[in-house]
Amino acid sequence: MQREDQRAMNALRQYRFVPDVAPQALSSVLISTGRTQVICAVSLDDSQPRWKKIQDITGGWVTAEYNMLPYSTVPRKKRDSAGKVDGRSVEIQRLIGRSLRSVMDMEALGERTLWVDCDVLCADGGTRTASITGSAVALAIAVRRLMRQGLLETNPMRQLVAAVSVGKLEGEPLLDLCYVEDRDAEVDMNVVMTEREEYVEVQGSGEEAVFTATEMTEMLGLASKGIRELIAAQRRVIDEVCPAQS
């Protein structure tokens, strides 16, 4: 088979990170992967979540919100109203939060909350994986800036994390599915991994067919390859925007 954008089966879509697109945020990144575009922005709340205070749990917290803007899809997506976020958005923002917290030391963060807002400008497949990958960049820049301001003694972000989709279409394993590929795939999987190649989460299902252990291993191998490339790119933009202090 031939892919819509002529990519190799094991190639990522063309991606880009544009930092500091939201001036009022502590840090922000516009991540583009193919036609998919997501703004990931980090804001500081200098207090713990209420539930941690009630339970007398020390340390900070990282949480995420995810939203697809109405014009991000065709046809237009109805805007979420206050208190009525659709189930898909809730599931995705929980995934983003879990992924980011997996690489954070909450004690080192101190009794403060970092909010990560992910707003999808254009959706062409992989919005949740792009949100995780872009959010990790924004979060890394944010904590480095807090260290420079003297608000953090040590970096609470132990390592980077990124995510990518894989799947099987017409019997072929594919890396980084666009919308059309995702729509038609027999198997669809989202993989979240740390830079040490530890799995945070694997979400996979046979949409139109079953898959074997061998095929799953092959798809996970593709995901590992893509995530290594994404993490190398994350590292470059983080060091360019906010070099680590010696």
pLDDT band (50, 70, 90) for residue 232: very high
Q: Is it the case that residue 160 has pLDDT exceeding 80?
A: yes
Token readout for 160 is: 């980077």
Instruction: Express as a percent the part of the chain with pLDDT over 70.
Output: 98
What is the predicted pLDDT for the residue at 2?
82
Q: Is it the case that residue 79 has pLDDT exceeding 70?
A: yes
Q: Where exactly are the structural domains of the chain?
A: 15-241
Token readout for 30 is: 């516009």
Token readout for 17 is: 């990170």
Top-confidence residue, 79 or 74: 74
Distance, in Å, from the CA atom of 156 to the CA atom of 132, rounded to the nearest integer, reads 17
What is the predicted pLDDT for the residue at 209?
84
Q: Is it the case that residue 5 has pLDDT exceeding 70?
A: yes
Token readout for 170 is: 């017409």
Residues 234/162, Cβ–Cβ less than 8 Å: yes
Q: Is it the case that residue 85 has pLDDT exceeding 80?
A: no
Residue 208: Cβ within 10 Å count = 11
pLDDT, one tens digit per residue, over 184-206 is 999 999 999 999 999 999 999 88
Does pTM surpass 0.85? yes
- pLDDT averaged over every residue in the chain: 94
pLDDT, one tens digit per residue, over 36-75 is 999 999 999 999 888 998 898 999 999 999 999 999 999 9
Q: Is it the case that residue 16 has pLDDT exceeding 90?
A: yes
pLDDT, one tens digit per residue, over 131-159 is 999 999 999 999 999 999 999 999 999 99
What is the predicted pLDDT for the residue at 245?
77
Q: Which residue from 246, 187, 192 is spatially nearest to 211, judged by alpha carbons?
A: 187
CATH node for 15-241 = 3.30.230.70
What is the predicted pLDDT for the residue at 83?
61
Q: Is it the case that residue 82 has pLDDT exceeding 70?
A: no
pLDDT, one tens digit per residue, over 104-134 is 999 999 999 999 999 999 999 999 999 999 9
